[in-house]
Structure 1
Amino acid sequence: MSRLTDLIAQAKNKDPQMGADLEREFRALSSRLPFGLNFERHSPEAVELPLRSVRKGDKVRVLPPRGTVKKGDQRLWQVVALHRTQKKADLKLITRAEDETAETQTVDLADLVVVAEFRDTIYPGLISTGKVQRGGEKPFHTVINGENYHVLKALTYTHRGKVDAIYIDPPYNTGAKDWKYNNDYIEAEDSYRHSKWLAMMERRLQVAKVLLDPVGSVLIVTIDEKEYLRLGLLLEQTFEGAQITMVSSVINPKGTGRSGDFARTNEYIYFVRFGLMRVGTRSDQSDVGSEVSWETMRRRNLASVRGRRGKGACGPNQFYPIFVNEKNGAIVGRGDPLPPDTARDSIDPPSGCIAVFPVRPDGTEMNWEYTDTAFDQWWPQGFIRANGKKDEPQRYIIQHLPNKARQEIKTGTVQVEGTRGDGSVIAKYTAASSKTVTTQWEFTSHSAEHGGTGVLKALIPLRRFPYPKSLFAVEDALRLFIKDRAEAIVVDFFAGSGTTAHAVMRLNRQDGGSRQCISVTNNEVAAEEQNALREQGLRPGDAEWEKYGICDYITKPRVAAAITGRTPDGEQIKGDYKFTDEFPMAEGFDENAEFFTLTYEARSAVNHNLAYARIAPLLWLRAGAQGARIDKLPASGWAVADTYGLLTDIDAATPFVAAVSQAEGLRIAYIVTDDDRRFQAIAKRLPKGVESVRLYESYLTNFSFANGE
């Protein structure tokens, strides 16, 4: 629509009557609202790549002079020729229509920045920028500095259908310059800011969908009131058939003060579940030392009325008398189940006893929770009791220990310390109990102030980051789904301060797991700091600029500090972790992490084995990001690492196959060849369970296919 309004304005200038007619018809059409979420997709979205060297054929922008804070020329130019010796490039203005007279100019290479539109096919690579190793043979967590849409595209080659959980905390679109679209910060006055936000999110969610395991996985998205309604509709449209639940979570009990408005205390969390993924339970320490709660044994719902038939109705053996001794209030046994047409007052109880039936105070006859045979199983064990005489149709309250409590006795969470005079057990919690999770969360550990800002200050003192998530809130959300998945793969493509990776490390420490997290973030410098850097003559891409970017200044140092137990200055981290797992932060974690920057390769360079050094980390990631990596082309024509092998000379296939057959834990064999017949022949010789992947055909085809815009 934004493009149409521009064209109508142009038409008005040339022919006012035709322009007015077009505007009238346009308004009539735009007033017809179809069902569902409707928004401008603002295609194409584009991103500047300051670290990418300029090549012939690239789309570029001309940067403003150093030292100025004014916005530069936003038009796109195409590089038609490079003059490397003079460090200049000949440019031609990109227009919507073929124009032989399009504007041209020659510009210094240093004054150009490459622009990638999201409809362009990319061929990604990775360059390692450092690592931290304390986890022995465990797989590596990875932090990738790059435009998250392009990194997600890269992950379609390495992790298609392999991801167990995605946790993201996207920009909340507050209008306070908290995110960029097409190199511009989005402000509150932008009338298209909601549709721009939706377009940005939709593109990334569509790629993320390809990464999630369809058999069982979860997408977790946090948001506040600015976009939660639109996000909910977008999730329903993007993930048709998924199970979607929204939880309200208190993150600031004091409330964010807003003059003349409600003080906001909460945010919202969407859980989008796929396949067989189920919600786990939440550990609760508050019950430790207290007695287990008994529940009434009389059923409550209307479907459980005596004699009722149909869906949810009880069986014929759940209406029977329970005999209670009037002197001591103890159960002494039961009678036979009564048919629906037999009155309960026809029962003659044993001497000194009362026959107790499941009857509401208004006289409605119900059914017991258990059949007669189930009663015979649980009452002798002390799991059913009478508790209190009443002047009502049901003379005694009959209670039972529910199945959950009985299971907790089996697992040791609850211990039986003895029995009462009536034979019922005295059972107490000796460990944290498991409770069903509700859709309203209010936990002290989820406070953004203490669990977010406080933790981050301890890890990387004096480095500011706005609104970090509570470490323990992210940990709790992930635990619900990957507690029993010790090798789960988690992705966060709005990684920010690196909280998700940190939470995954804590989960690993609690059960000895080997879960790994892939954190994706750009290296954007905060909006309020950019002008000061520009006034110093700096630009994106300069080392002095990049060191203040979110990835280099916050995410990477936070992940490294969490693992090592030391701040970026080498000091021991002060303070302790709280709640589920309490220990000094200075202990760190037995984990490995490696940091990468996304690169953009030329198709021809990939095809001719000239970009192998940047493709190598992707091959390692696809094989599990574990153990050694083959960073250089092997002189012998083949090499075998811990989890994968590489054959670059098919004439060396025999020793390669032999080495692969002897290796333990090998997952993938990469074979470089253009000859599909020979590839298939070698693949047939590989051991069962080793995936064969043809290079670079699989890589090039993946990104051509993935480029659906």
Structure 2
Amino acid sequence: MALLQDLIQQIDDPALKERILQETDKLLKQKKFGLVFEEHLPECTPLYDVPIRVGSKVALKTGYVSDIYTVVKMDGDEVLCDRRETHEQKTFKLDDLVVVAEFGEPIYPTLKPLDTVENAPDSGLWHTLIEADNYHALQLLEYLYAEKVDCIYIDPPYNTGAKDWKYNNDYVDSSDAYRHSKWLSMMEKRLKLAKKLLNPQDSVLLVTIDEKEYLHLGCLLEEMFPDARIQMISTLTNSRGVARDNGFARVDEYIFVIQFGSSKVNRLPLSDEWRVNVNENDTRVTHLRWSMLIRSGSNYLRKDSVNQFYPIFVFNDGKKIHSVGEPYYGTNREEVVAPEGTFAVWPLRRDGEEGNWQIANTNLRELIKQGFVMLGKKKDNSIPVYYLKKGEIAKVTSGVYEITGYREDGSIISDTEVRSLVTGTQWRIGSHDASTGGTNLLKSFFGTSRFTFPKSIYAVHDTIRFFLANKPNALVVDFFAGSGTTLHAVNLLNAVDDGNRRCILVTNNEVSVDEAKELTQKGLKPGDPQWDSLGIARHVTWPRTVASMTGRDIEGKPLEGYYGFESDCYEVDESIAVVSKTTGKPTKATVYRKGKRQMYPELCEIKMADGFKANAAFFKLSFLDKTSVALGRQFRELLPVLWMKGGAVGKCPALENDDLPNMLILPQNKMGVLVDEIYYSEFDAELSQHPEIQTVFIVTDSETAYRSMIRTYDGKNCYQLYRDYLDNFRINTGR
């Protein structure tokens, strides 16, 4: 094809050249060049909570999910089925069957609440874990967050042949001649949807893999993302090595970095381990970083955090803080009287709009006492206020930044210079070892190991912070969630810089091979409560999320230790005199003493028992009847989807009774729903009282009426129900 393209460029006739180029482009799209693999049978998904009816497509719970039957007749718990391949009719017990969804058919998913963990009731930050086949979950996420995701981090099955993943509900082992093409088919379908989630202007896709599939994956990524910038990193994961038959032990794996738009790698202050093969001239000096006290980004208005709208009283010369006032809930802040000789500083934005401070007044008072609050230059009877976030404070208390003095306002001075850099593509970082930061960490939560080969939390933390350090409000997705390391790492990032990054995890609820055998011997089947309780989502991912956020293990005991990570180092010990054996006199020599070095000083004061100031909701992907949705009969079931569509702000709302309300005004969720369009006037009046509501859903079959009702809602995200929902999944047909 390359030669053909060169020959086409030699054609003198511009019109003919353009026409031939168009036809060759069509040819390229029809036939794969480069990476060629079999297009396998479409994937099927068992839907255990969907009721079986006459006409349903079903499979045996203990059989192949792709071996599909059609229900012909039902008589009590006896079900007569017609096998699709042979049209042989058989009778099965109802409890032995499960409804099956095939790839590409229209689906109408929703979210069934399973559990929540709320460790920050005053925070609007809610993460989500979705138990589901990730293909259908990605279809739902496309409806919710198309082109809105900042970072996707995935650790897909490595296709080792050791029964580490299934295709059509059947394990793919090393003897399968088509295991590579099955794996590529599986990945291609999901990456197509992932591409639609990512913000094309500025986002990153991070994919980990080992030597079994890295060549195939690299070709697939090049083919699917031709406009992206792609690199591959080699990273240490097991310093002891994983044995390979008659070969070298594997100590590392790979990370593909796919960057879109203006995405860039941030320079970070890193330990010496990161400096291998890095040009010292490519490093930059950084100093202690002070942050603006007034909030920016999302949730920056006064109404978003009313308790953090308070005055700071500064002496008239602008050189020192006198005191910090109490939250003000009134409408005329001029009525607040400043102490004599002072003036009040409020969190006002440049346009005069009322905002809010980053932290509560009680926390600010403590930081002032410690010298961690600094005043800027006074101008027009106002003055900017700065403070140190948790990560910077930890660097001060751990000695990374030495205090060399104090300003007139009482804030600390540090002249320490720390070099920041962009590292190379060879990562040999001790904390990335999967045993230390992965297996041992999970054992502290569960008492035993419930998951094989978990990622080190530091490996995920470091990888994503290169891209999210300057994005405190980033949306992160991991649809191969495994043990839940990604959400844990996002919380750790937020704890360092007071960020508001939100994470969505997706994982299935498969049990291990050995557990499946034991449960089957006991007469249990997938979908039974005892079986499901041992699946990865419910037995590992969610308990790990709860434990890390509450700071308690599964037995309720406080977790021990801190998130700071120490590694061995060797420092010159000048206190040891070295005497020459030949002359008996002191001689010049360098003596090293083994010690410990803090690799993450910003994490050294983050106590595991304190958990994280965030919340999370646990859902199971379920499916709705199309006719019921169209008639508006399943509003209760759709409410969690609407909540996520609105940004998952605040706790997911739920209807208290079976009566369908005329409208829902949910300022805590920044969303409103008009259920009955007859009540539009009342709904509109309520919205005018809650300007914080940014997402509006209107249930109406009339496009004209919908357009009329939203005409004054400029700046708000508006959606027509249920047409918007149904149209999306009708489009999904045949993918």
Band of TM-score, shorter chain: 0.7 to 0.9
Contact 1:599-1:614 at 8 Å conserved across structures: no
1:580-619, aligned counterparts within 5 Å? 580=600, 581-582=603-604, 583-619=606-642
CA distance in 2, matches of 1:287, 1:414: 19
CA distance in 1, matches of 2:33, 2:273: 48
**Equivalent of 2:705 in 675, 678, 683:** 678
Cα shift readout 1:276-329 (whole Å, capped 9, x = no counterpart):
1111123224599xxxx9969xxxxxxxxxxxxxxxxxxxxxxxxxxxxxxxxx
Aligned to 2:67: 75
Aligned to 1:51: 49
Range that drifts further, 132-141 or 564-573: 132-141
> CA RMSD for the aligned pairs?
2.4
Contact 2:104-2:732 at 8 Å conserved across structures: no
Aligned to 1:509: 495
**Equivalent of 1:666 in 688, 693, 718:** 693
1:634–1:217 distance in 2 versus 1, CA, 3 Å: farther
Contact 2:552-2:558 at 8 Å conserved across structures: yes
Q: Measure how far apart 1:205 and its partner are.
A: 0.4
**Equivalent of 2:665 in 623, 629, 640:** 640
1:229-628, aligned counterparts within 5 Å? 229-286=215-272, 430=416, 432-579=418-565, 580=600, 581-582=603-604, 583-628=606-651
Q: Does 1:214 align with 2:200?
A: yes
SS for the counterpart of 2:421 is strand
**Equivalent of 1:700 in 726, 730, 735:** 726
1:28-107, aligned counterparts within 5 Å? 35-63=33-61, 71=63, 75-83=67-75, 86-95=76-85, 102-107=87-92
Contact 2:54-2:74 at 8 Å conserved across structures: yes
1:577–1:294 distance in 2 versus 1, CA, 3 Å: closer
CA distance in 2, matches of 1:157, 1:587: 36
Q: Does 1:196 align with 2:182?
A: yes
**Equivalent of 1:223 in 209, 214, 223:** 209
Q: Measure how far apart 1:445 and its partner are.
A: 1.2
Q: Measure how far apart 1:93 and its partner are.
A: 1.9
CA distance in 1, matches of 2:280, 2:558: 48
1:165-204, aligned counterparts within 5 Å? 165-204=151-190
Unpaired runs of 5+ in structure 2? 1-30, 283-398, 405-413, 566-599
1:611–1:471 distance in 2 versus 1, CA, 3 Å: same
Give the residue type in structure 1 aligned to 2:85.
T
Cα shift readout 1:135-185 (whole Å, capped 9, x = no counterpart):
222321000001000000011111111100000000000000000001110
1:605–1:431 distance in 2 versus 1, CA, 3 Å: farther
CA distance in 2, matches of 1:39, 1:654: 58
1:84-163, aligned counterparts within 5 Å? 86-95=76-85, 102-135=87-120, 136-163=122-149
Give the residue type in structure 2 aligned to 1:115.
V
Identity of matched residues, %: 42
Contact 1:463-1:554 at 8 Å conserved across structures: no
Cα shift readout 1:3-52 (whole Å, capped 9, x = no counterpart):
xxxxxxxxxxxxxxxxxxxxxxxxxxxxxx96311101203111222333
Cα shift readout 1:497-546 (whole Å, capped 9, x = no counterpart):
00000000001001111111000000000112210110011110011111
Give the residue type in structure 2 aligned to 1:41.
E
SS for the counterpart of 2:139 is helix
1:213–1:634 distance in 2 versus 1, CA, 3 Å: farther
SS for the counterpart of 1:141 is strand
Contact 1:158-1:622 at 8 Å conserved across structures: yes
Give the residue type in structure 2 aligned to 1:692.
C
Contact 2:109-2:624 at 8 Å conserved across structures: yes
Give the residue type in structure 1 aligned to 2:89.
T
Contact 2:64-2:170 at 8 Å conserved across structures: no
SS for the counterpart of 1:142 is strand
Give the residue type in structure 2 aligned to 1:700.
L
Give the residue type in structure 2 aligned to 1:601.
L
Contact 1:638-1:647 at 8 Å conserved across structures: yes
CA distance in 2, matches of 1:479, 1:500: 11
Range that drifts further, 599-608 or 575-584: 575-584
SS for the counterpart of 2:199 is coil
CA distance in 2, matches of 1:281, 1:464: 36
Range that drifts further, 659-668 or 182-191: 659-668
Give the residue type in structure 2 aligned to 1:464.
R
Contact 2:130-2:507 at 8 Å conserved across structures: yes
SS for the counterpart of 2:36 is coil
Give the residue type in structure 2 aligned to 1:656.
F
Give the residue type in structure 1 aligned to 2:100.
V
TM-score normalized by structure 1? 0.72
Give the residue type in structure 1 aligned to 2:644.
L
CA distance in 2, matches of 1:287, 1:577: 18
CA distance in 2, matches of 1:600, 1:636: 23
Give the residue type in structure 1 aligned to 2:116.
K
Contact 1:59-1:76 at 8 Å conserved across structures: yes
Aligned length: 534
Give the residue type in structure 2 aligned to 1:618.
V
1:63–1:212 distance in 2 versus 1, CA, 3 Å: closer
Contact 2:131-2:507 at 8 Å conserved across structures: yes
Contact 2:57-2:100 at 8 Å conserved across structures: yes
Contact 1:627-1:641 at 8 Å conserved across structures: no
Range that drifts further, 191-200 or 432-441: 432-441
CA distance in 1, matches of 2:98, 2:124: 39
Unpaired runs of 5+ in structure 1? 1-32, 65-70, 97-101, 297-411, 418-427
Give the residue type in structure 2 aligned to 1:569.
E
Contact 1:671-1:695 at 8 Å conserved across structures: yes
1:73–1:561 distance in 2 versus 1, CA, 3 Å: closer
Contact 2:65-2:100 at 8 Å conserved across structures: no
Contact 1:166-1:218 at 8 Å conserved across structures: yes
Q: Does 1:651 align with 2:678?
A: yes
Q: Measure how far apart 1:607 and its partner are.
A: 1.0
Q: Measure how far apart 1:74 and its partner are.
A: 5.9
1:46–1:295 distance in 2 versus 1, CA, 3 Å: closer
Contact 1:639-1:645 at 8 Å conserved across structures: yes
Contact 1:413-1:433 at 8 Å conserved across structures: no
